[in-house]
């Protein structure tokens, strides 16, 4: 049941959304991309933003640089590649009052917050280059930072068939990906302020805005996609700007190779893609003391997606599996891990449907499983920790996400999401040793997402 307070707060968010809607000048996401394309509608590139259509994938591959000629008398704002976003949200956790829990464990719970407020550079730079760069205020972390950067140069050649190729400079593995099955662009697209499980793989947003990478990619005959890249820490050096304002909790030693290959096919209203991706990286066990050495992570992922886009109906389904081998060459000797080597596996699958690009939603199943490690998944503590800890040292978690969407305009998304855990940090009941159950971390999330 929704409490009266939540409903009132949410109505406030909706009113703000409607006010913004009335003052917005266009209905296109990302609006500056749409202006660049001569007023093209959101639906050309997105089923529901940010999920890409086949055309949206082509636009990204071609370096965000496709554009319609601008008449000399075009309004000033039509010529500048800048857009803005505003996300107002509220996260309500089911139970914040279990033994040992403090308000510090749920810092923004039940508050309406400006989750994200920021600007995009989204548009072409030259006839063959462009960028999607997002710098914003993060209302959960309470800081400004470089949320996303993907700067591209692209061209075409003929190798029997057409080859679209390019170079990308970006700040997060998989942000350069053109599919919505990999972590950065996967459902449900926006995180909440709720408590998160202790374990996640390196490729699963762990390095977001903490690295910079240069990659080359190509799509041959609209059939075979490949990308290889090298990532280095954004803590120092040339990539520092790509992590501007974001704390570098995970510092990569040297270069971490990333790869991605996929086979795709489009036929009428249907499109399919299956692929693999992965990364190998050494991350310092202590980001303040490099003398303690590094842990080595090898992630290998398999993913696939199917899209059906026909008139008023869009349907898509995605699946993603990541296997991570962890060689804890530094953490184990220093007593921060119980094992020298462990494995972590994550699986997610979702289905999404939308009617007239206006009403819709999605359902996701998620699961992470791995070797028990009392120290690693209990935040380095031998004793149990309330809320964030794992009494049995298991990283296992699983559950469901259900989300409803309403888009009063194509550039405004209202979302109502419920996340339900059936297992959290290794158990369904009393996972932290203080009587807290996995379902106590279930959360309701309300979001107004505006692009203008």
Partner 1 sequence: MKLALLGIAASMALLMTSQTLAADGKAVYNKSCAVCHASLSPKLGDKDAWEPRLKQGADGLVASVLKGQGVMPAKGGNTTLSEADIKAAVEYMLAQLK
Does residue number 358 form part of the binding site for partner 1 (CB under 8 A)? no
Residues 54, 226, 293, 408: which binds partner 1 (CB under 8 A)? Answer: 54
Q: How far is the CB of 21 from partner 1 (least distance, A)?
A: 18
DSSP code for 70: P
What spatial distance separates the first Cα and last Cα of the chain, rounded to whole Å? 33
Mark residues 170-189: x for contact with partner 1 by CB under 8 A, - for none.
--------------------
Render the burial of 80-101: b for 16+ CB within 10 Å, e for the rest: ebebbbbbbbbbbbbebebeeb
Q: How far is the CB of 222 from partner 1 (least distance, A)?
A: 8
* Residue 104 vs 312, nearer CB to partner 1: 312
Helix (H, G, I), strand (E, B) or coil at 77: helix
Q: Which contacts (CB < 8 Å, 24+ apart) does range 105-108 have?
A: 105/195, 105/386, 105/387, 105/388, 106/193, 106/195, 107/193, 108/139, 108/140, 108/193
φ and ψ at residue 95, rounded to 5 degrees: -145, 115
Q: Which stretch binds partner 1 (CB under 8 A): 64-72, 143-151, 205-213, 226-234?
A: 64-72
* Residue 115 vs 410, nearer CB to partner 1: 410
Does residue number 67 form part of the binding site for partner 1 (CB under 8 A)? yes
Residues 5, 249, 289, 310: which binds partner 1 (CB under 8 A)? Answer: 310
Q: Which stretch binds partner 1 (CB under 8 A): 55-63, 86-94, 105-113, 383-391?
A: 55-63
Q: Hey, which residues between 13 and 42 contact partner 1 (CB under 8 A)? A: 37-41
Pseudo-torsion of CA 6, 9, 11, 16, nearest 10°?
-150
Residues 17, 29, 30, 43: which binds partner 1 (CB under 8 A)? Answer: 43
d(CA 192, CA 201): 19
Q: To which H or E segment does residue 45 belong? A: helix 42-45
Mark residues 232-271: x for contact with partner 1 by CB under 8 A, - for none.
----------------------------------xxxx-x
Does residue number 58 form part of the binding site for partner 1 (CB under 8 A)? yes
DSSP code for 304: E
d(CA 111, CA 125): 39
* Residue 205 vs 224, nearer CB to partner 1: 224
Does residue number 68 form part of the binding site for partner 1 (CB under 8 A)? yes
Pseudo-torsion of CA 186, 187, 188, 189, nearest 10°?
30
Q: How far is the CB of 77 from partner 1 (least distance, A)?
A: 19
Residues 96, 98, 222, 372: which binds partner 1 (CB under 8 A)? Answer: 222
* Residue 143 vs 356, nearer CB to partner 1: 356
d(CA 250, CA 172): 12
Does residue number 55 form part of the binding site for partner 1 (CB under 8 A)? yes
- Neighbour tally for 142: CB within 10 Å: 10
List 167's β-bridge partners, or say none: 153, 216
Cis peptide bond prior to 319, omega within 30° of 0: no
* Residue 43 vs 384, nearer CB to partner 1: 43
Is the Cβ–Cβ distance between 440 and 399 less than 8 Å?
Answer: no
* Residue 67 vs 339, nearer CB to partner 1: 67
Q: How far is the CB of 35 from partner 1 (least distance, A)?
A: 12
Mark residues 270-309: x for contact with partner 1 by CB under 8 A, - for none.
-x-------------------------------------x
Q: How far is the CB of 69 from partner 1 (least distance, A)?
A: 8
Q: Where does this chain bind partner 1 (CB under 8 A)?
A: 37-41, 43-45, 53-55, 58, 62, 66-68, 156, 162, 222, 266-269, 271, 309-311
């Amino acid at each position: 049941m929704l409490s009266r307070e939540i409903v009132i707060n949410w109505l406030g968010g909706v009113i703000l959304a409607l006010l913004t809607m009335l003052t917005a000048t266009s209905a296109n996401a990302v609006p500056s991309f749409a202006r660049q394309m001569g007023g093209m509608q959101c639906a050309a590139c997105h089923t529901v933003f940010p999920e890409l259509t086949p055309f949206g994938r082509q636009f990204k591959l071609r370096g965000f640089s496709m554009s319609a000629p601008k008449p000399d008398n075009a309004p000033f704002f039509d010529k500048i590649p800048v857009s803005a976003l505003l996300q107002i949200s509220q996260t309500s956790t089911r139970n914040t009052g279990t033994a040992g829990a403090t308000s510090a464990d749920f810092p923004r719970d039940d508050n309406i917050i400006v989750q994200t407020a920021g600007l995009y550079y989204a548009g072409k730079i030259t006839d063959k280059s462009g960028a999607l760069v997002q710098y914003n205020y993060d209302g959960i972390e309470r800081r400004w930072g470089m949320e996303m950067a993907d700067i591209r140069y692209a061209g075409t050649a003929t190798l029997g068939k057409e080859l679209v190729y390019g170079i990308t400079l970006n700040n997060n593995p998989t942000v350069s990906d053109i599919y919505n099955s990999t972590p950065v662009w996967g459902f449900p697209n926006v995180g909440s302020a709720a408590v998160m499980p202790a374990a996640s793989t390196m490729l699963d947003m762990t390095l977001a805005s903490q690295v910079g990478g240069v990659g080359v990619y190509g799509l041959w005959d609209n059939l075979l996609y490949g990308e290889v890249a090298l990532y280095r820490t954004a803590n120092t050096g040339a990539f520092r700007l790509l992590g501007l304002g974001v704390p570098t909790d995970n510092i990569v030693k040297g270069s971490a190779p990333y790869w991605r290959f996929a086979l795709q096919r489009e036929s009428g209203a249907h499109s399919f893609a299956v692929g693999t991706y992965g990364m190998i990286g050494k991350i310092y066990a202590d980001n303040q003391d490099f003398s303690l050495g590094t842990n080595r992570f090898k992630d290998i992922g398999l993913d696939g997606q199917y899209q059906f886009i026909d008139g008023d109906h869009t349907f898509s389904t995605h699946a993603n599996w990541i296997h991570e081998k962890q060689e804890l060459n530094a953490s184990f000797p220093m007593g921060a891990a119980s094992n020298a080597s462990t494995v972590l596996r994550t699986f997610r699958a979702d289905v999404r449907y939308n009617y007239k690009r206006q009403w819709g939603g999605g359902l996701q199943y998620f699961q992470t499983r791995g070797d028990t490690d009392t120290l690693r998944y209990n935040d380095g503590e031998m004793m149990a920790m309330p809320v964030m800890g794992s009494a049995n040292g298991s990283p296992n978690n699983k559950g469901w996400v259900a989300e409803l969407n309403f888009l009063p305009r194509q550039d405004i998304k209202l979302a109502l999401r419920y996340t339900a855990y059936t297992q959290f940090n290794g158990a369904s009941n009393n996972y932290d040793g203080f009587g807290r159950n996995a379902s106590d971390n279930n959360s309701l999330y309300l979001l107004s997402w505006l692009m203008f």
